[in-house]
Each structure stands twice: as structure tokens, then as C-alpha cells.
Chains A and B, each alone.
Chain A
């Protein structure tokens, strides 16, 4: 039997991506003597996790130092936008060579 159903031409239900393509920051070869900033969302046991990371990285990389999460404030919640706006300046101010951000859960 011949199909007499209507045929529809339809458009895309999404909208253009406005993500601005970027590139990752250049990395150095190792972490000796580097300053690492801790960014925390104040959730999911970061207060246990960051000290463990500090201890283990310090044992492996002489001269490594940390800017503790308390310095930056929370990356999640009511102060998130303010932190986002000031983060690049804070990272410069504290001489951060790298950051660890946690905890995504």
C-alpha cells in the first residue's frame, strides 16, 4: 500500500554553541619548586583530600608549596561568580604555577 502520510521538513532544535574555543596553559616538565593553588567547592571531603595531596606531592617534589583553599574561598555557590571574576588576579598575586580543583561529585 502506498504511504500517504504527510512528510515534514524540520529544523534543528538546538542553537549555536557560544563556547569560545581555547587552549590549555603551557605546562612545565615537573613540579619541583612550583607553587600550587587549591581550588575547592567546599563539598565532598576536600578538607581531607587536599592535605593528603599536599603531603604526597611534597614528598615527591622538593620545594613545592601550596596556596591553601581557604585563601581563595569557595568555587561553588553564593560567592562563585565573585571568585571567578577575581581568580586570575588572585593566582597572579599568590604566584601560582598550577592549580588543583576539587571535588566534582
Chain B
């Protein structure tokens, strides 16, 4: 919204942006990131989604003078960039405790103690890559900082990674710098969190857990890789919760540890691995990053036939996805992820089902009513969303508007091929788990690890 205003300003067209009071701090971060810190704002007090029509009308009447002031009259001149430290500068000297305090005070930590990023430690990480320290992988909004190789090493040190993780850290940042991932939206109110998935030989080489307790902190590689990404988004993209700004996750969640697949089991079942599903070979080491906005309950399923399990998966994974599917429908790109326990994958595969068969079943069986989809979307803020209009615009397939009956059912999963299916977890139990992603925000992106 502010980025559109900035484009207009740079095209010579004055702008004013209507921003609600709770978002003013985030607006300041975005405005600075686009190089126009004094972008004119008209402040809408409160939360429009809880205002009635009368309240909206009154508030718009009251903010009219701000709209006029933003569009007409004199404004300040060109902005300049503030001086910043060089990469190798010592910015602080102190004991371990003093460094923790300094980093906390400057909002450079995630609230946990960090490993002091000394030159020596950073150099050990840089020795693991052929890339130059000042190479820029991309730029990360909203703070709009360069994702340099150096900064990746520094934050890798701080997060407790080992130097040999550096190629993975680089691939993670390459993935989140891809426009498909939309790192600039990682501070949106749903409070989604990125999930790193490692595939191929690197996962074994770095000793990633793919078995029991795979998503729990406790294994160094899984944990520190996940922590690195959250820290990197704070420090380079500028996504900080209060007392910082930029991260408006309303309730949000903490970082996900990195996930690895039980590839031996997947292959033994004759299934493609998750890495192969992303287009890579078995010898490729691959990082995939996608958003996770919520997690299903543990899904226990029993039986000797694929259908026994598919029915429960449809109920519980489908149920976990249903509420958020309206947003998936609005943007028509949605990539939920189903982590199947090895024992469950075995039953499904040995009954002759492929991963695509399972995806197709979920697509056909998991539905909600059109009324629910439109009502859920409205609550989030999509106040003008209708399935019919989205079908007309070519965003959704015709199946979403076969009639105007609000009680007609529509598929929860818009594109079944985008449901990720991966084998991991406790081989000694019959449990799966679903991960709901945040539509186009945090879209699934994979990068080969240069290791």
C-alpha cells in the first residue's frame, strides 16, 4: 500500500496513504525502507474491521484535513541516507554479559543469548563458501537492507550455527530473497513463520533429525538453522515486535526448527522425495522455505488400508486448513504441507496409492460451503471478496461458482498439486501433522545448496 504510494511519488504524483493507528510504526519502517521516510499519512484511528458504517463515516470525515494536507501544500526536500558501520568495524567491546545487554538494547537479538559475532568467528563461516563477503544475495524489505554474504555469516554465528552450515544459510537467504517468497510480508498480522526444509545428502551430513521429535528444539542443526532465519528476518528485513516495529504479527508464533525428510523410507516405498517433488535429483542438497501460519493437531490414524488413513487426514488436516482456505482462495496460491509419519506413509504406499492419489483425495473430499469461505475472508479484512467475482476474474476455477447457492460446497485445496507431502517423524507411532501456509505470503521456494 505504501509501496504503491512511493511509486506514485517517484513518478511525480503526490500521494497520501490512509493508515490505521496501530500500523503507524510499521508504516514508518516501510516508508524509510522505500527511501521516502516522510511519505504523507492520514491516520485512521482504531480498527476499521470493528467499526460500523457510521463509525467509518465519522472517522473518514475527521481525517479529511489530513488527506488534503498530504496532497496539497509544501513538503520537505530530498532525504539522505544515514551513515552506518562498515562490515569489519568493531561496533562494541565487552564481556559476554555486556554484549547480550548491548544487543538486546539495540533489538539485534531474538531475546535469547547470542554467540558474540567476532571477526574470527565470522571468518570461519566465510571460509566455507567461495562467495565474496560483500556479495549481495538480494534485498530484504521492509527495512530494505542488502542480504550480504557477510551478514549471513554474522547472523549464523549469533544463532549458534556451526561454520559448516554456511552453504545452507546462503541457500536459505537465496530462497527468502526470491520475490515469490515475499519476505516483505513476513511481518503481516497472521504472524506466519518461515519453515526451512532440508532435502538430499546435506541433511545427513549435518546430522539433521528427521525422526522422532523432528520439530522439537534439541538437535543443533535443526534448531540453529531455524533460529538463524528468524534472527535474519529481524536484523536484515527489520521485522521486530515491540519495542521494535515492522513485525505486526498479532499473536504470531516462535521460530520453527528446520525439518528434514526421512528420505530412505520415502524411497523404500517407491515414493518421490520432497526434494524430487521440487524438481531436484537425489544427489542434490536442497533448501526449501515456505510459510507456516498454523499447525494441525497431531493426526493419529489407524488401519491397514490407504483409505483408513486418508479419511482421518482429510478430517483433521482438512479441518485445520478449512478456516484459512478462504485466504488461499482469495490469492489462489496456497501450499499447505502434510508431514506423514513413516508408518502411515507405508500403509498408504503399500495399498498402491501415490502421493498424487492422496492429494487428489484431499482435494475431492475436503470442502467448505461458499458461505463459510466468504464469511471467513470477510473477518480477515477481505471485505469485497466473493467467489463469484474471483471466478469471473479468472483467479479461481469455475468449480467455485457453479451456482449462487451459498450452501454449495467448494474445495478447500484450490490446487491439489501444491499440497506438499513429506515423510518424517516417529517411525514407532502412527502420527502425522499438517502445516498451513499463508497463501502467497511465504510461497514455497527451493534452492540448491552449493556444498
Contact = CB atoms under 8 A, between A and B. Distances in A.
B99 interface: yes
A46 B383 contact: yes
A76 B119 CA distance: 41
B297 interface: no
Contact of A84 (B3, B103, B108, B144): B3
Interface residues of B, number: 105
Given A48-B53, A52-B60, A28 B15 contact: no
Most buried by B among A5, A11, A29: A11
B235 A96 contact: no
A46 B148 CA distance: 39
B333 A78 contact: yes
A43 B150 CA distance: 38
A56 B61 contact: yes
Interface string A23-59: 1111111110000110101111111110011001100
A105 interface: yes
B79 A97 contact: no
Contacts of B20: 44, 103-105
A9 B121 CA distance: 11
Contacts of A13: 103, 108, 117, 151, 154-155, 158, 235
A19 interface: yes
A47 B94 contact: no
A37 B13 contact: yes
B283 interface: no
Contacts of B44: 103, 105
Grouping DSSP codes into helix (H, G, I), strand (E, B) and loop, the B interface class, with mixed when no group exceeds half, is: mixed
Given A17-B143, A18-B146, A49-B56, A7 B332 contact: no
Contact of A44 (B32, B94, B108, B383): B383
A7 B95 contact: yes
A103 B48 contact: yes
Contact of A100 (B18, B89, B385): B18
Interface in B139-191: 139, 143-148, 150-151, 154-155, 158, 179
Interface string A1-19: 0010111111111111111
Contacts of A31: 68, 71-72
A91 B17 contact: no
A93 B122 CA distance: 51
Contacts of A84: 3-4, 7
Contacts of B80: 21
B48 A20 contact: no
B96 A8 contact: yes
Question: Which 10 A-B pairs rank lowest in CB-CB distance, beginning with the nearest?
Answer: A104-B19, A88-B11, A15-B151, A102-B18, A8-B116, A75-B4, A23-B78, A105-B20, A19-B35, A101-B5
Given A41-B1, A78-B332, 19 more contacts: A7-B93, A8-B116, A10-B91, A12-B89, A16-B148, A19-B32, A21-B79, A24-B38, A24-B75, A25-B9, A27-B75, A60-B64, A91-B8, A96-B13, A98-B71, A100-B16, A101-B15, A105-B22, A105-B23
13 contacts: A9-B90, A14-B235, A15-B151, A18-B139, A19-B35, A21-B35, A22-B34, A25-B13, A37-B13, A53-B64, A91-B11, A100-B71, A102-B1
Interface of A: 3, 5-31, 36-37, 39, 41-49, 52-53, 56-57, 60, 75-78, 81, 83-84, 87-88, 91-92, 96-105
